[in-house]
Chain A
Amino acid sequence: MSPETHWRTALAEGRLLLQRAEDGSAVFPPRLAAPGSGGPLEWFEASGRGRVYTLSWINRKPPAEPYHVALIDLDEGARLMSRVEGVTPETLAIGMRVEAFVDHDGDAPLLLFRPVED
């Protein structure tokens, strides 16, 4: 199974996988080999906990509500793009603690985050 397929299969089962390189660094998106070194990678299940690194609210034509895009730093070290559910422009902030969950409502399972206490 290709790394991308393996990752998506796990996500459909509600698990967020990352890869770890020999130097201990966490890798995302999934790859065949460690970026930079070409060395082996090992799968592991991420805690799903992380922190908002940066964010942008995107305006749409009213009455459509604005939505946002955020870059999330996972506690294990990888960074990815996602969205934090249940927040407003007033409450969502850089540095906010978040945790991952998998949304099964759309066409494909989607990795999202929600705020969590520190």
Chain B
Amino acid sequence: MTDTFPRARTAIAGLATFGIGETPGYSSMELTAQAALLAVADAGLTLADVDALFICQPDDFFAGLSFAEYLGLQPRYTDNNRTGGSAFMSHMAVAAMMLEAGYIDCALIAYGSNQRSNGGKLATKITNNQWDAPYAPIFPLTGYALAAARHMHEYGTTREDLAAVALAARAWAQTNPEAFAKGPLSLEECLAARMISTPISVRDCCLVTDGAAAIVMTRTPRARDLAKPAVPLLGAAAATWWNSIAQAKDVTVTAARESGARAMAMAGVSPSDIRTAQLYDAFTINTILFLEDLGFCAKGEGGRFVSSGAIAPGGSLPVNTNGGGLSCCHPGMYGLFAVIEAARQIRGEAANQLSGVDVALAHGNGGTLSSQATVVLGSVATL
């Protein structure tokens, strides 16, 4: 089946982040509400313009309802899906088609968490299923470790390759005022870091921060009349291949292979057209797997690709130019932050602004490499 998608007919009209890093005293709801208010204002709209709400919170299974109540919205449609950190890319796909159909006029997509200030642990109630739980894998970390171990075995990927991902992320973060982790980081430090679940050490893990993000989507003609440069959505696709990592046919190949190919086909672009990729880097192995599965390098070549410097400042494919989940922020579910960095690059307002960004990709991941969702954003030049 070929996808039908309203290429470029809807756009990000407003965006904002809030409270990245540490914001003691704020609830997750407050952080999210602040980001949402800023995003609506950024678009030059008001809350009264918002008629659809898409949200996924770490600690509130009824987040759509409580957030609508908090902001005083009465959405014509409320979406509270739970596909982990990829939820927000899925939200964008649904919002685009609802906007195109005329079912809604203005979608607010939001996320926020105070997980750093509120105990410093991943604030999720999701855990291992009953088949895996007796063996006590660390959820979700060991799932990624099992994939990384197999990738090393099959393709000769090394801990140095994993470290190259962390070092590139830190290099980008160092010149991003919003990034939480900006200290110096060396290869030696990465290799000597405390091992948690082999081959994943603390330096292979994303940060635990607070933070919130929100975007506003409208149909593109309206977005072009609003306050900021419109960022058209060229393609969006989600794919789910498993829940438990034990059920992956091949732990080194994720559903990003499907979501990426479909999103790029909708957009009419190929990997070589993409100027920058924002990839959900919960762990260093993610970046390597997604670079391969999205087609930026061949399967098995991801380790050598990142070790060549390709994704770092000055490289051929700038990846996670805000510092990513590894060094900018990771408030539990990072997907929407990847979208916002891609959109900022297209608007020309990123902290580490690249030249000539007409096409940018953002990729979200959920569960244990389980749910994958990809969006391709363009500038108005791609219309």
Contacts and interface: CB of A to CB of B under 8 A. Distances in A.
Interface of A: 29, 53-59, 67, 69, 71, 79-83, 89, 94, 106, 108, 110
B277 interface: no
Interface string B232-246: 000000000000111
Nearest to B200: A56
B147 interface: yes
A18 B256 CA distance: 30
B125 interface: no
Given A29-B131, A56-B145, A58-B142, A71 B246 contact: yes
A54 to B, nearest CB: 4
Contact of A54 (B135, B138, B149): B149
Contacts of A82: 135
Interface stretch (B22-30, B65-73, B189-197): B189-197
A67 to B, nearest CB: 7
A56 B372 CA distance: 23
Given A57-B198, A71-B245, A71-B246, A83 B150 contact: no
Given A58-B136, A58-B196, A69-B136, A81 B131 contact: yes
Contacts of A81: 131-132, 135, 137, 244-246
A83 B195 CA distance: 19
B184 interface: no
A82 to B, nearest CB: 6
A89 B197 CA distance: 12
Interface string B116-157: 000000000000000110111110001001110110010000
Contacts of B146: 54-56, 69, 71
Nearest to A72: B246
Most buried by B among A71, A94, A106, A108: A71
B150 A54 contact: yes
B149 A94 contact: yes
Contacts of A67: 136
A29 B243 CA distance: 12
A81 B246 CA distance: 6
B143 to A, nearest CB: 9
Given A71-B251, A81-B131, A55 B149 contact: yes
Contact of A56 (B131, B134, B137, B244): B137
Contacts of B195: 57, 59
Contacts of B147: 54
Interface in B174-195: 194-195
